[in-house]
């Protein structure tokens, strides 16, 4: 194995289906991410994710060989852009998550891809599944905590948290260990603690800029739903106030009638 194989492995696909899916994903997400981030940042993102995934797979092969002594663990072919695909789907969740693609929203694609790759690893031992899992994870870590854009570092929006990759009913459960892991990483100075943006500021740089690249309808829908929730909350609060006022007036009327009697 040569040192450059830690990068070039991602350029060698194992089949036509994987190649087609990788090309489609690069074209679709790159159309949005590359104009926003710039060519250098877009290339750096893919380079970092694939490099870290390559190192992780290589270390796993070494450990497997040390444990079994079987040379097949070292000589098995490993390649494909699945780590990059996972990272790009995470980027799509960040940039245009509310856009719909058939029956699902873009924000759900990364989670579905991660789950599919995990199933392939557990039940079939598929190497490209391992790459997909690693790429999704490392892509999120980079965008969440390390990507810089002017004064902005990372993306701490609640809509981009680790728990947001899971179904709504599981998010409260997942957020507990995720919070513990986050605090440990902060204590070890692996990441910096930053305040999450307020709900009103979640549609910040990326969603505003992405709206100029063909996702305006998705962002508009997200803002419409947010405005609808605020309106319902205000109407609910107003309804409670009116009921309390009417009850107070009724009590005052009863007291007055008793005094007259």
**Whether 83 and 127 share a structural domain:** yes
> Is the distance from CB of 29 to CB of 91 less than 8 angstroms?
yes
45-72 pLDDT per residue, tens: 999 999 999 999 999 888 988 888 888 8
Supply the pLDDT for residue 245.
44
**Whether 105 and 195 share a structural domain:** yes
Tokens of 220: 């508009």
What pLDDT band is residue 140 in, cutting at 50, 70 and 90?
very high
Is it the case that residue 254 has pLDDT exceeding 70? no
**Whether 231 and 134 share a structural domain:** no
Q: What is the mean pLDDT of the chain?
A: 81
**Whether 142 and 244 share a structural domain:** no
Supply the pLDDT for residue 204.
45
Alpha helices, DSSP H, located in the chain = 5-8, 16-37, 39-68, 72-75, 82-96, 109-124, 127-141, 168-187, 205-210, 216-260
**Whether 38 and 166 share a structural domain:** yes
Q: Which of 102-116, 155-169, 174-188, 213-227 has the lowest mean pLDDT?
A: 213-227
Range of the domain at 248: 216-261
> Is the distance from CB of 219 to CB of 210 less than 8 angstroms?
yes
Supply the pLDDT for residue 224.
59
**Whether 249 and 210 share a structural domain:** no
What pLDDT band is residue 23 in, cutting at 50, 70 and 90?
very high
Q: In angstroms, rounded to a whole number, what is the distance separating the alpha carbons of residues 106 and 29?
A: 11
**Whether 196 and 234 share a structural domain:** no
What pLDDT band is residue 185 in, cutting at 50, 70 and 90?
very high
**Whether 57 and 130 share a structural domain:** yes
The count of domains in the chain is 2
Q: In angstroms, rounded to a whole number, what is the distance separating the alpha carbons of residues 115 and 170?
A: 14
Supply the pLDDT for residue 4.
82
Supply the pLDDT for residue 258.
44
Note the pTM of the prediction, 2 decimals. 0.76
Q: Are strands 104-105 and 152-153 parallel, antiparallel or unpaired?
A: unpaired
**Whether 91 and 158 share a structural domain:** yes
Q: What is the mean pLDDT of residues 110-115?
A: 95
Is it the case that residue 113 has pLDDT exceeding 60? yes
101 backbone dihedrals φ, ψ, rounded to 5°? -130, 90
């Amino acid at each position: 194995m040569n040192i450059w194989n830690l990068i070039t492995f991602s350029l060698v696909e194992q089949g036509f289906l994987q190649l087609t899916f990788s090309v489609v994903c690069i074209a679709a997400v790159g159309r949005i991410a590359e104009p926003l981030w710039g060519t250098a940042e877009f290339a750096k993102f893919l380079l970092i994710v694939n490099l870290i995934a390559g190192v992780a797979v290589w270390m796993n092969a070494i450990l497997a060989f040390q444990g079994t002594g079987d040379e097949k663990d070292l000589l098995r072919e490993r390649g494909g852009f699945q780590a990059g695909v996972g990272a790009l789907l995470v980027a799509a969740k960040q940039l245009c998550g509310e856009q719909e693609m058939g029956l699902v929203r873009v924000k759900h694609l990364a989670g579905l891809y991660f789950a599919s790759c995990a199933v392939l690893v557990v039940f079939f031992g598929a190497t490209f599944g391992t790459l997909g899992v690693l790429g999704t994870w490392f892509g999120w870590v980079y965008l969440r905590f390390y990507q810089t854009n002017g004064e902005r570092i990372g993306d701490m929006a609640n809509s981009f948290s680790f728990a947001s990759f899971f179904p709504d009913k599981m998010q409260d459960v997942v957020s507990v260990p995720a919070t513990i892991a986050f605090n440990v990483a902060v204590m070890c100075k692996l990441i910096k603690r930053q305040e999450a943006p307020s709900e009103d500021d979640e549609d910040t740089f990326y969603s505003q800029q992405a709206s100029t690249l063909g996702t305006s309808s998705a962002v508009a829908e997200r803002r419409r739903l947010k405005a609808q929730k605020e309106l319902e909350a205000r109407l609910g609060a107003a309804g409670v106030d009116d009921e309390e006022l009417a009850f107070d007036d009724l009590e005052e009327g009863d007291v007055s009638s008793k005094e007259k009697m």
